[in-house]
Amino acid sequence: MSRYGCPFLAGSFTGEDRNSIAEVCERLDRWMAEMSQADSPQGLKEHYRGRSARDRQAEESLHGAIAAFAARWLPLVSREPNTSSHYQGVINNLWRHARRDMLRVINRISYRSILSLFLFALTPVPADVSEEEEADGIFGQVCIHAALQQIQTLRARQRSLRFNGTKVSQPTKSEAIPPIPETVRTTDFIAAENIAYYAALTFDTSASLTLNCQSLLSSGLFGFEGEMSWSLVRAGATMFRDKWRNWQAEGVYVVTDDRANQIIASGTAWKLLAWKLTAVLKEALRDGHDESEVQRAFSLVVDAMRQFNDTYKRPLEACEQRMPFLAQHTKFRWYSLMLHYHLSILLMANAIEATDRLDLFNEIKETIASAESAVVNTLVFGLHNTTTMAINMDSDGLDHVGATETSVTVPLISIDPYPHHVVAAVQLVQIAIDRELEQRKITHSGHASVRSVLERALNHLPQSKSVKAARESFSKVSHYSGEPPVPYSI
């Protein structure tokens, strides 16, 4: 969401190095409310009172969604042993409250409602929720689609406003209306809106790839080719190549933390394009498009993988070499990029196998094998590298006089906000190594070594229903050859 990662902000100075998406959504809602006041010359007090109530509801819903989303990590920060059962009750209650609230959030169109819906879609079902309870309510895919519809509605509403180059103004304005409390500069508004849209684009792309549904923000199989978003991603990669050459020309080969974050952010934007192209290929295979369209989609994916290697492979390797000296947040971003980029290759291979397109599979066999190795190595990285979190201590439970906070150190994989992607990666790699063992391409000891990594990865994930099921089925011999489990198993 930074000016290094969001393609809408690339090359500009309007964005920050890092942006809080919650703060961006709050600002957008406030600005939209301020601008809409000009449309209510009658009953201003009632209008303001209604706005205040809706604003409070949106804020409470967002806080509830954040709490439910983050509750899975409560056991990590506990300083007391054997408290998992207590925390499980808290996790269950927060999830149930947020789930009920989503029905109201769907009907309250705002940027904070969009974020609330996205967060709940990423909130795993608690481990002890029954099948009956899970089926009796809203689930993640519905939240994603509702949020995407809201972003389209809000962007259409914003387009009805006039911009004069310095601020946002209304087509008409009554003299009876008091001045807008805060003048909104056009560049600030557009930058914030573009950040929110790019976040929505990320969810839309991820859902179309992992849920096997069509994109809601793109029109047609190849409609994305004419969209500015993806053109900006490609332009951002070109700008990064020039930047990388300039860094090398300077003769300074040490990758600083700031430069590492720029590398990772730009690579993450290209990763999203790779996910988009993979989703397009899956749709072409799944929906029975003409062979010419399948080949075209396949060529686009292969070309994107080639460009990723040409543009980002060496810079990311340079980051890896400097990893001991980089900040823990930078390490986590590197881990996340490497896992998700190579996961898209495994998802593509799985879709190709599921449709018996061995001709396509054989063309990228080496790439698939490389991606499998990269996923395992990335999981090892996430297990061996740690992050330290500060914890505020209650005054009545201090272990030492005067102590106000403590800390806990856990593997990076333990704080991965997308455990469903880790589960999918583990299961796809397990399929691959089981097959290679049968074909005697790897030894029993090599197979056992990789399985040990996969098992430890699952054990370090926060407890949830899908993770629990994956752990239970991991030891079973499976000849699975279909689609991996739906990541958003809400």
CA 149 to chain CA centroid, nearest Å: 18
158-187: burial string, b at 16+ Cβ within 10 Å, e else: beebeeeeebbbbeeeeeeeeebeeebebe
Q: Give the model's confidence band at 243: pLDDT under 50 very low, under 70 low, under 90 confident, else very high.
A: very high
Here the tokens at position 336 are 């996340």
Residue 236 forms part of a structural domain: no
Residue 291 forms part of a structural domain: yes
Q: Do 300 and 356 have their domain in common?
A: yes
What pLDDT was estimated at residue 62? 97
Q: Do 58 and 146 have their domain in common?
A: yes
Q: What is the residue type of 357?
A: R
Q: What is the residue type of 49?
A: R
Q: Do 270 and 356 have their domain in common?
A: yes
What pLDDT was estimated at residue 4? 67
Range with the poorest average pLDDT among 150-159, 337-346, 374-383:
150-159
Q: Do 151 and 299 have their domain in common?
A: no
3-state secondary structure of 386: strand
Q: pLDDT tens for residues 223-237?
A: 999 899 999 999 999
What pLDDT was estimated at residue 2? 65
Q: Do 210 and 309 have their domain in common?
A: no
Do 407 and 388 touch, CB atoms closer than 8 A? yes
Q: Do 296 and 440 have their domain in common?
A: yes
Phi, psi of 78 (to 5 degrees): -75, 135
Taking 70 as the threshold, does the pLDDT of residue 158 lie above it? no
Residue 422 forms part of a structural domain: yes
Range of the domain at 147: 1-159+191-217
Cβ neighbours of 453 (radius 10 Å): 17
Range with the poorest average pLDDT among 53-62, 171-180, 297-306:
171-180
Q: Give the model's confidence band at 80: pLDDT under 50 very low, under 70 low, under 90 confident, else very high.
A: low
Cβ burial, residue 410 (10 Å; 0-12/13-18/19+): middle
Taking 80 as the threshold, does the pLDDT of residue 434 lie above it? yes
Strands 168-169 and 162-163: antiparallel
HEC sequence for 156-190: HHHCCCEECCCCEECCCCCCCCCCCCCCCCHHHHH
User: Angle 238-244-245 (CA atoms, 0-180°, nearest 5)?
Assistant: 95
Q: Give the model's confidence band at 252: pLDDT under 50 very low, under 70 low, under 90 confident, else very high.
A: low
Residue 352 forms part of a structural domain: yes
Taking 50 as the threshold, does the pLDDT of residue 485 lie above it? no
Residue 409 DSSP class: E
Q: Which of 201, 217, 233 is the last residue of a domain?
A: 217
Total tally of structural domains belonging to the chain = 2
3-state secondary structure of 442: coil
Q: Which of 244, 246, 155 is nearest to 193 (CA)?
A: 155
Q: Do 267 and 319 have their domain in common?
A: yes
- Using CA atoms, how far residue 293 sits from 73, 211, 296, 414, in Å, is 44, 21, 5, 41
Cβ neighbours of 401 (radius 10 Å): 5
Helix (H) or strand (E) holding 390: strand 386-392
If you search the block for the tokens 């098992």, which residue do you land on?
A: 455
Q: Give the model's confidence band at 174: pLDDT under 50 very low, under 70 low, under 90 confident, else very high.
A: very low
Q: What percent of the chain has pLDDT over 70?
A: 80
Mean pLDDT across 161-186 = 46
Residue 436 forms part of a structural domain: yes
15-51: burial string, b at 16+ Cβ within 10 Å, e else: bbeebebbebbbbbbbbbbbbebbeeeeeeeebeeeb
Q: Do 202 and 297 have their domain in common?
A: no
Q: How far is the C-alpha of 97 from the C-alpha of 227, rounded, in Å?
A: 38
Q: How far is the C-alpha of 322 from the C-alpha of 315, rounded, in Å?
A: 11
Do 65 and 98 touch, CB atoms closer than 8 A? yes
Here the tokens at position 73 are 């990590």
Range with the poorest average pLDDT among 103-117, 368-382, 461-475:
461-475
Mean pLDDT across 28-49 = 67
Most confident range (mean pLDDT) of 76-80, 168-172, 480-484 is 76-80
Q: Do 208 and 256 have their domain in common?
A: no
Phi, psi of 399 (to 5 degrees): -85, -25
Q: How far is the C-alpha of 42 from the C-alpha of 371, rounded, in Å?
A: 62
| Residue, of 56 and 480, whose pLDDT is higher | 56
Residue 138 forms part of a structural domain: yes
Residue 487 forms part of a structural domain: no
What pLDDT was estimated at residue 397? 47
Q: For residue 168, list its beta bridge partners.
A: 163
Phi, psi of 72 (to 5 degrees): -60, -20
Do 105 and 130 touch, CB atoms closer than 8 A? no
| Residue, of 3 and 479, whose pLDDT is higher | 3
User: Angle 418-487-357 (CA atoms, 0-180°, nearest 5)?
Assistant: 120
Q: What is the residue type of 187?
A: T
Q: Do 253 and 133 have their domain in common?
A: no
What pLDDT was estimated at residue 166? 52
Q: How far apart are the first and last CA of the chain?
A: 25
Q: Give the model's confidence band at 369: pLDDT under 50 very low, under 70 low, under 90 confident, else very high.
A: very high
What pLDDT was estimated at residue 65? 97
Phi, psi of 406 (to 5 degrees): -135, -170
Q: For residue 387, list its beta bridge partners.
A: 410
Query: Which runs of consecutive H residues, i.e. helices, occur in 250-327?
Result: 257-286, 291-321
| Residue, of 184 and 441, whose pLDDT is higher | 441
Angle between helix axes 186-210 and 111-121 (nearest 10 degrees) is 30
Mean pLDDT of the chain: 85
Q: Which of 182, 217, 252 is the last residue of a domain?
A: 217
Q: Do 372 and 274 have their domain in common?
A: yes
Q: Do 353 and 211 have their domain in common?
A: no
Cβ burial, residue 295 (10 Å; 0-12/13-18/19+): middle
Q: How far is the C-alpha of 138 from the C-alpha of 25, rounded, in Å?
A: 23
Residue 235 forms part of a structural domain: no
